[in-house]
Amino acid sequence: MSYHFFTDPEYAGPHHSAIVAFWDRKPRLLREIPRKSMPEYHFPNSNTASFVQIATKDAAPEISRFFNMFYKGDDWTFNCNFSDVEHWIKSGFIIIIKFEDEIVGTFVCRNLEHVICGKPHSQSALLEGLVVHPQFRKTGLASFLLASMDYIVYNTPHLRTSILFWFREHDSHLSALSQLPLCVLKYSYINIKKIVKRSLNINKITSEHASKIVTSIAENNSDVFTLICTRSDPNVYWCLVNGSLIGIANTHRNTHTGAPIWEVVFAANISKPYFVDLLDAIEQSALMLPSVNGILFISNSKSRGNTVPAYPWVSGSSGFLTTHIYNWMPPHFLTGDILFPLSCI
C-alpha cells in the first residue's frame, strides 16, 4: 500500500511533483525541498505584509510577559521569567511577530542532541511555544507561524535534515489518535502533599551526571525507538533513589490555585530491568523538589513512570500526551516510545 504525496507549488517547480511510498516504514525525510520564499501575513484590515523576526535575548522580558499573559489552558496558567526565555533562545531560536510594536505570536525551536528514530541521526529539534494573542486567533496567524518556522528550519543548514519533534496534550484518547502520533501516553497525577515519606537512600545529582546514566541505559535498551540524550537543563531536577534515576521537570505551569505543576521526564533503574518498580523512587524524588505544594504528573511511557498507579494517584481523567515527528517517517506509529529527559515549554 502506498500514499502519493504531491508537493505544494511552494516547494517545487510548476511541473514537479514528489511521490513517496508513505507506508513502507523506511525511516527518512518525507520532503527535502525547502520553501522558496518567506511567508507573509496580512493583519485584519491591513494591506501591509508582515513577517516574523528571530528574537534576540533583549526581547526575553517581553516574550516572558507575553507567555505569562496568553499561554494558558482551561486549568493551568504559564509562569516564566526573562532568564528562562534567554535559556530557550540560547538553545535554539524563537520567532515572533508584532502588531503595533507588540508581540502577538511566538514559536520556539530548540536544538536537541543524538537521536535514534529507526536509524542514528545527528540532528534534531523540538518545536513548541506556539502562542497567538487572543485577538488574532482564527485569523490564520498560527498557520502563518507554522509556515514561517518551516521556511527558517529548512533554510538553516544544520536543521535542514533534522528530525523535528513536538508534543500535544489531549483530553480524550480519540482526539489523541487523530494526527497519527508516534506514541500516545496516558497521564496520572498526584497532589505531592499526599505522598508518604519513606526511608530510602536519595541523593540529588547534576544534569551532566544524569546524562551519562541516561546514555548508558539507552544504549543497552533496544526497545525504545527514539532517544534524545539530555544536556544541562536548569528546569529538570535529578535524583538517584536506591539505584533508580528520576528526572522531574518544572513545567512552568500552575494550577488556578497557584500550585506548581511538575512532570516526570525520566525514570529508570540504573541496571536491568530498567523500567519496572519505579513508583516509590518517583514519589520520594518529588519530596525533594523546591516546592512540595504542587501536582506531579507521570505517564505509562517506559521512561516516564511505566505505570497507571492507584489511589492517591488520579488516573483516567488526567488526559493524554502524544509525540509527533514533523516531515519524518518513523519506524512505528502509535506504539513507539521515547526517551526525552528534557523540560518542555
* pLDDT tens-digit map of 135-162: 999 999 999 999 999 999 989 988 888 8
pLDDT class of 4 with cuts at 50, 70, 90? very low
- Give me the helices (H) in 16-81, please: 60-70
The average confidence (pLDDT) of the chain is: 87
- Domains defined for the chain, CATH in brackets: 34-161 (3.40.630.30), 168-339 (3.40.630.30)
Percent of residues, the chain, with pLDDT higher than 70: 90
- Tell me whether strands 314-326 and 183-191 are parallel, antiparallel or unpaired: antiparallel
Model pTM score: 0.89
Residue 82 has what pLDDT?
95
d(CA 250, CA 227): 21
**Given this model, what pLDDT does residue 276 score?**
94
Is residue 7 over pLDDT 70?
Answer: no
Task: Please check whether residue 298 is in contact with residue 320, taking contact to mean a CB–CB distance below 8 angstroms.
Answer: no
Whether residue 188 has pLDDT greater than 50:
yes
Cα–Cα distance list, 292 to 170, 259, 285, 289 (Å): 26, 9, 10, 6
Mean pLDDT of all residues in 90-108 = 97
Select the more confidently predicted residue: 114 or 83. Answer: 83
pLDDT at 6: 31
Residue 2 has pLDDT above 60, yes or no: no
| pLDDT tens for each residue of 292-318 | 889 999 999 989 999 889 999 999 778
The whole-angstrom separation of Cα 111 and Cα 164 is: 9
Q: State mean pLDDT over 266-281.
A: 94
Q: What is the pLDDT of residue 222?
A: 66
pLDDT for 28 equals: 82
Confidence of residue 8 (pLDDT cuts 50, 70, 90): very low
Per-residue pLDDT of 204-231, as tens digits, reads: 999 989 988 998 888 887 666 677 776 6
Residue 224's contacts (CB-CB under 8 Å, 6 or more residues apart) are 218, 302, 303, 337, 338, 339
In this predicted structure, the answer to whether residue 272 has a pLDDT above a threshold of 50 is yes
Which pairs from 154-160 meet CB under 8 Å and 24+ separation? Answer: 154/34, 154/35, 155/34, 155/35, 158/123, 159/109, 159/111, 159/123, 159/125, 160/32, 160/34
> Per the structure block, which three cell numbers stand in for 255?
494550577
Taking only the tens place, the pLDDT of each residue in 234-252 is 899 999 999 999 999 999 9
| pLDDT, tens digit, 9 for 90 and up, residues 41-92 | 999 988 889 999 999 999 999 999 999 999 999 889 999 999 999 999 999 9
Cell of 262: 511538575
